[in-house]
Structure 1
Amino acid sequence: MTLHTIMPLELVLQGIHNEEAEPMHEVTVKGIKMQVVPIAPGMGKIVRLLDCSLHDYLNPALMPGALIPYHTFEE
């Protein structure tokens, strides 16, 4: 991969080896599998969609950074 940028390399690679990355969970909400970062119990911030239809990518409620309620079930 080639990256052409005027930004300093330190800024581009900032946080690439961060050991304290936010914990992500894979959840399914209304049939859409996504990765979320928990913010509060039952509430998460969408990181990315993993398994959905192409039309779901156009839904502003499912864009990365949007907050979404979800349920986790402990087994």
Structure 2
Amino acid sequence: MSLYTVLAMEQIFDGALSYTRPLQEISVQGMLLQVEPLDGGQAKIVRLLHGPLDKYLDAAYAPGAVIQIS
């Protein structure tokens, strides 16, 4: 592959090899959440996969919210 650009290679491939933690699926209060584990027994919610319809509008379970897991 050839790239014809005036940008430096560092700018083109910046972030291409970044490491992200593996995602996990956990069940909390009858809801299935996809989370990214954090340190200290916490997890950041990536998405709500399954649950009651009113929980999709609850800010406590919105993507980006941090919850405590055991």
Q: TM-score, normalised by structure 1?
A: 0.64
Partner of 1:20: 19
Q: CA RMSD in A?
A: 1.9
Q: Which runs of 4+ in 1 moved over 2 A?
A: 17-22
Partner of 1:42: 41
Q: How many residues align?
A: 57
**8 Å CA contact retained: 1:38, 1:45:** yes
Unaligned runs of 5+ in 1: 1-13
- Alpha carbons of structure 1 residues 38 and 53: separation in structure 2 relative to 1, 3 Å: same
Unaligned runs of 5+ in 2: 1-13
Structure 1 residue 22, shift from structure 2 partner: 2.4
Percent identity between the two aligned chains: 40
1:33 and 2:36 equivalent? no
Partner of 2:56: 57
